[in-house]
C-alpha cells in the first residue's frame, strides 16, 4: 500500500471515529505538501466540514491529533487554515530505503494481461533514414520498453513501405542513369545509393517540366504530360502485374536498402519483433475494399476508382483504389491492421507517426469501424511533433533533410571532442574511449529527443545536447560514473556496503522520496505514452544526488554505520538511474 492510500484510509477512519459518519477514502484528497510549508503530505479537510460542523482549523486539528495517535508513520503535524500538513517519520523512510535497495525489480509494475502492439519506423525504401525517422524510432522503441515496465505484453512491429510510385521513381532513375552502379562499387550504403537515384529522378523531372513550361504549357498541364512520370506510373502497373524484369529490379534495390537500414537500426539500438512489408499487405487491403464495395460501404466512380464517403462524419471523400486498380496508403493500412488483429488479437495498437498524419488515422479508424471491426477502437495514434535543427547545421548530402547516419556520426564525433576537452577519460585504452564516445554521443542524442513531450515540435541542438551540465544525457551518464567511482573506492578500502538503519538527514529523505516515486512515474509515463516523464525523473534524481554529494560526506564519514548506509543509498540511486535510462535505450558508463 502506498503512503497516500494509507493516509486516505486512516483519514476515513478518523472521520468515522470523530464524527460518526462513513466517508469513502476516495473522496478525501491527499497530496504532496507544497515546498514552502513543513510536512510531507497534506490532507485537505474542506470536504469534511459539512460532517464535522466545525471550522477548517478545528477540524484539521481534530483529525491531526487522531492520525498522530493512531498512525505510526506520522511523526508530527501542523495546520494551515483548512490544510493538514503531515510529517512522515524517519523510520518510515528508512524502511522504504531498505525495501527499495533490496528489490531487483523496483519500478517494474505487475503483469497486466494487456497485449499492446507498437508500430514505429515505417520507412520508405526509396531513401535513407533521416532525422524525423530518428525521433520516430527512438520514441517507438522507448514507448515499447515503457509499456513492458507497466506489465504489458508488447509486440514491436515495423511496416516497410516497399512499393508505390515513389519506389518506382528511384528504380527508373537507377535503370536509366546508373550504368549498373552498386553499393560495393560506389562505397555508399545501399539506402544512400537508392536515395541518390530518387533525388536524380526528381531533378530530371523538374528539368522536363521546366522545359515544357518554357515551351508554352502551364505547370499543371506540364506535370500531367511528363514522359518521365508516365514511365514511373507504367513501371508501377507492371510491378503490380508481376512483370519479371521490374520485380527483379525491385528486389535488387530493396535488398540494398534493407542492409543499409539494418546498420542504422543496430547503431541506434532499436529492434522489432516482426516486420511487415507493404508489398505483402496491400493485396489484403484491396480485398477488404472490394468486399466493402459489394456491401455498399464504399462506392465506385465512373472511372473505376473506389471511394469512401465520410462527409456525414464531418470529413471528406477518401480514395481507396485508383482508377487503374492500384492501391493507396490507406488501402494497405486497412489490410495490415486486419492481418495484425487476426494474428495477435491486441488490446491496443499504437501507431507512432508524425502529427502530419493525424487525419489519416482518424480516417483509418472510421473506415475500419464502417467495415464492422469493433477492434478499430483499440487503435491509438501516438502523434508526435516534428524535430528540427538550427539553421545551417548538419545538412545531409541531399541538401534538404538531415541524414540519420550523418547525424549519429556527428554526435559521436562531438562527444569525442567534448570529452577530450574536459579530460574525462581516466587512463582509458583507445578501445574503451571509442566505446565511451559512442555511448555519450548516442546517449546525448536519445536523451535530448526523448526528454521532450512527444506531442511537441522540438529544436535539436547537437552542441547543447552533449553538455555535461544541465538536463542532458551526458550529465546523467557522468553522475552514474561518479557514483560507481565512489563505490569502487569503498570496495577497494574494504568498506562494507549494507543497510544499517542508521540516522538519516533531510537531504537523504528527499532522495528516498524520489526513489520511492519511481513506480508512480513509470505508471504515469505509461498512461501518457511519454518517455519524457521518465527522462525528467532521471534528471531530477541525478541532480539531487549531485546536491547530496556536495552537502554530505560519504567516504570520509567517521561513523561506519552511517557511511555504509550512505553507500547503499547512492548504490540504489545508480541502479534506479540505470533502469530509468534503459527505458530510453541509453547505456550508463561505469567510469569516465
pLDDT tens digits, one per residue of 257-282 = 999 999 999 999 999 999 999 988 88
Q: Please write the tens of the pLDDT for every residue from 34-45.
A: 989 999 999 999
**pLDDT tens string 116-163:** 999 999 999 999 999 889 999 999 999 999 999 999 999 999 999 998
Query: Could you tell me if 33 and 169 lie in one domain?
Result: no
Q: Which of 245, 271, 297 is the last residue of a domain?
A: 271
Per-residue confidence band for 397, with pLDDT thresholds at 50, 70 and 90: very low
Residues 457 and 541 reside in one and the same domain: yes
Q: Which three cell numbers stand for residue 458?
A: 522540438
Mean pLDDT of the chain: 93
Q: What is the model's pLDDT at position 398? A: 42
In a domain, 60, yes or no: yes
Residues 167 and 82 in one domain: no
372 within domain boundaries: no
pLDDT higher than 50, residue 395: no
User: What are φ and ψ of residue 384, in 5° steps?
Assistant: -110, 155
Residue 506 falls within a domain, yes or no? yes
Ramachandran class of 382: left when φ > 0, alpha when ψ lies in -120 to 50, beta otherwise: beta
Per-residue pLDDT band for 28 (boundaries 50, 70, 90) equals confident
* 24 and 170 assigned to the same domain: no
Residue, of 200 and 325, whose pLDDT is higher: 200
Q: Which of 208, 238, 271 delimits the end of a domain?
A: 271
3-state SS of 64-122 is HHHHHHHCCCEEEEEEECCEEEEEECHHHHHHHHHHHHCCCCCCCCCCCCCEEEEECCC
Q: Are residues 428 and 554 in the same domain?
A: yes
What's the pLDDT at 349?
98
Asked if residue 148 is part of any domain, the answer here is no
382 and 351 Cβ atoms separated by less than 8 Å: yes
- Residues 67-99 have pLDDT tens digits of 999 999 999 999 998 899 999 999 999 999 999
Identify the pLDDT of residue 177: 96
Residues 64 and 190 in one domain: no
Q: How many C-beta atoms lie closer than 10 Å to residue 226's C-beta?
A: 17
pLDDT 10s digits, 420-453: 888 777 778 999 999 999 999 999 999 999 999 9
Residue 451 lies in a domain: yes
CA gap 473, 450 in Å, rounded:
10
Over the stretch 207-262, which tens digit does the pLDDT of each residue have? Answer: 999 999 999 988 989 888 999 999 999 999 999 899 999 999 999 999 999 999 99
Would residue 129 count as lying in a domain?
no
> Are 466 and 415 within 8 A, CB to CB?
yes
Let me know whether 542 and 409 are in one domain.
yes
Please tell me whether residues 81 and 170 are part of one structural domain: no
- Same structural domain, 167 and 58: no
Tell whether 435 and 572 lie within a shared domain.
yes
Q: Residue 65 belongs to what domain range?
A: 3-88
pLDDT (mean) for 448-468: 89
Tally of domains in the chain: 3
Residue 590 belongs to some domain of the structure: no
Give the pLDDT of residue 329: 86
Q: Supply the CATH number for residue 46's domain.
A: 3.30.1360.70
CATH code: domain of residue 498: 1.10.730.10
pLDDT at 24 over 90: no
Report the percentage of the chain scoring pLDDT > 70. 98
The answer to whether position 337 is within a domain reads no
Compute the average pLDDT of residues 472-496: 96
Rounded (5°) CA angle 340-121-460: 150
What is the reported pLDDT for 391?
61
Q: pTM of this prediction?
A: 0.91
pLDDT value of residue 396: 38
| Residues 177 and 84 placed together within one structural domain of the fold | no
Is the same domain home to 454 and 550?
yes
pLDDT at 460: 83
Name which residue leads in pLDDT, 466 or 580.
580
Residues whose CB falls within 8 Å of the CB of residue 590, separated by 6 or more in sequence, listed in order? 481, 484
Instruction: State the pLDDT confidence band at 390, using cuts at 50, 70 and 90.
Output: confident
Last residue of a domain, one of 271, 302, 331: 271
Q: Which whole number is the average pLDDT over 522-551?
A: 97
Amino acid at each position: 500500500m502506498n503512503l497516500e492510500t494509507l493516509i486516505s484510509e486512516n483519514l476515513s477512519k478518523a472521520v468515522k471515529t470523530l464524527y460518526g459518519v462513513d466517508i469513502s477514502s476516495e473522496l478525501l484528497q491527499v497530496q504532496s505538501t507544497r515546498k514552502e510549508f513543513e510536512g510531507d503530505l497534506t490532507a485537505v479537510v474542506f470536504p469534511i466540514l459539512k460532517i464535522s460542523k466545525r471550522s477548517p482549523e478545528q477540524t484539521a486539528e481534530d483529525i491531526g491529533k487522531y492520525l498522530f495517535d493512531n498512525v505510526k508513520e506520522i511523526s508530527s503535524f501542523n495546520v494551515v487554515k483548512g490544510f493538514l500538513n503531515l510529517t512522515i517519520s524517519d523510520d518510515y523512510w528508512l524502511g522504504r530505503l531498505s525495501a527499495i535497495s533490496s528489490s531487483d525489480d523496483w519500478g517494474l509494475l505487475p503483469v497486466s494481461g494487456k497485449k499492446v502492439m507498437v508500430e514505429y519506423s515505417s520507412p520508405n525504401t526509396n531513401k535513407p533514414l533521416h532525422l524525423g525517422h530518428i525521433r520516430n524510432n527512438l520514441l517507438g522503441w522507448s514507448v515499447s520498453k515503457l509499456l513492458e515496465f507497466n506489465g504489458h505484453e508488447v509486440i514491436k512491429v515495423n511496416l516497410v513501405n516497399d512499393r508505390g510510385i515513389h519506389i518506382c521513381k528511384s528504380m527508373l532513375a537507377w535503370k536509366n542513369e546508373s550504368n549498373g552502379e552498386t553499393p560495393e562499387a560506389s562505397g555508399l550504403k545501399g539506402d544512400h545509393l537508392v536515395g541518390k537515384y530518387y533525388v536524380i529522378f526528381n531533378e530530371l523531372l523538374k528539368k522536363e517540366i521546366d522545359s515544357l513550361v518554357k515551351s508554352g504549357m502551364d505547370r499543371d498541364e506540364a506535370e500531367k504530360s511528363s514522359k518521365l512520370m508516365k514511365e514511373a506510373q507504367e513501371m508501377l502497373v507492371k510491378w503490380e502485374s508481376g512483370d519479371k524484369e521490374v520485380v527483379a529490379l525491385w528486389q535488387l534495390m530493396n535488398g540494398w536498402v534493407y542492409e543499409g537500414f539494418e546498420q542504422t537500426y543496430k547503431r541506434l539500438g532499436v529492434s522489432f519483433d516482426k516486420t511487415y512489408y507493404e508489398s505483402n499487405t496491400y493485396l489484403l487491403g484491396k480485398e477488404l475494399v472490394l468486399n466493402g464495395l459489394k456491401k455498399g460501404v464504399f462506392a465506385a466512380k465512373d472511372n473505376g476508382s473506389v471511394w469512401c464517403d465520410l462527409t456525414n462524419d464531418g470529413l471528406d471523400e477518401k480514395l481507396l483504389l485508383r482508377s487503374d486498380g492500384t492501391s493507396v496508403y490507406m488501402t494497405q493500412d486497412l489490410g495490415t491492421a486486419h492481418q495484425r488483429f487476426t494474428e495477435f488479437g491486441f488490446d491496443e495498437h499504437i501507431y507512432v507517426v508524425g502529427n502530419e498524419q493525424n487525419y489519416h488515422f482518424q480516417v483509418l479508424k472510421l473506415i475500419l469501424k464502417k467495415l464492422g471491426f469493433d477492434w478499430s477502437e483499440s487503435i491509438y495514434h501516438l502523434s508526435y511533433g516534428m524535430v528540427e535543427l538550427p539553421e545551417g547545421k548538419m545538412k545531409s548530402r541531399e541538401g534538404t533533410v538531415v541524414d540519420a547516419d550523418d547525424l549519429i556520426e556527428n554526435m559521436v564525433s562531438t562527444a569525442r571532442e567534448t570529452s577530450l576537452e574536459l579530460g574525462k577519460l581516466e587512463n582509458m585504452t583507445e578501445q574503451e574511449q571509442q566505446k565511451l564516445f559512442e555511448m555519450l554521443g548516442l546517449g546525448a542524442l536519445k536523451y535530448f529527443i526523448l526528454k521532450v513531450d512527444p506531442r511537441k515540435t522540438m529544436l535539436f541542438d547537437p552542441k547543447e545536447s552533449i553538455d555535461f551540465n544541465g538536463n542532458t544525457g551526458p550529465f546523467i551518464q557522468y553522475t552514474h560514473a561518479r557514483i560507481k567511482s565512489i563505490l569502487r573506492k569503498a570496495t577497494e578500502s574494504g568498506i562494507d556496503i549494507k543497510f544499517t538503519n542508521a540516522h538519516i538527514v533531510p537531504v537523504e529523505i528527499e532522495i528516498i522520496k524520489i526513489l520511492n516515486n519511481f513506480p508512480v512515474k513509470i505508471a504515469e509515463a505509461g498512461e501518457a505514452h511519454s518517455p519524457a516523464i521518465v527522462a525528467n525523473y532521471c534528471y531530477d534524481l541525478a541532480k539531487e544526488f549531485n546536491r547530496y554529494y556536495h552537502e554530505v560526506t560519504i567516504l570520509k564519514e567517521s561513523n561506519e554505520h552511517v557511511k555504509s548506509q550512505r553507500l547503499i543509498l547512492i548504490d540504489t540511486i545508480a541502479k534506479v538511474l540505470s533502469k530509468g535510462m534503459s527505458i530510453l535505450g541509453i547505456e550508463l558508463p561505469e567510469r569516465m
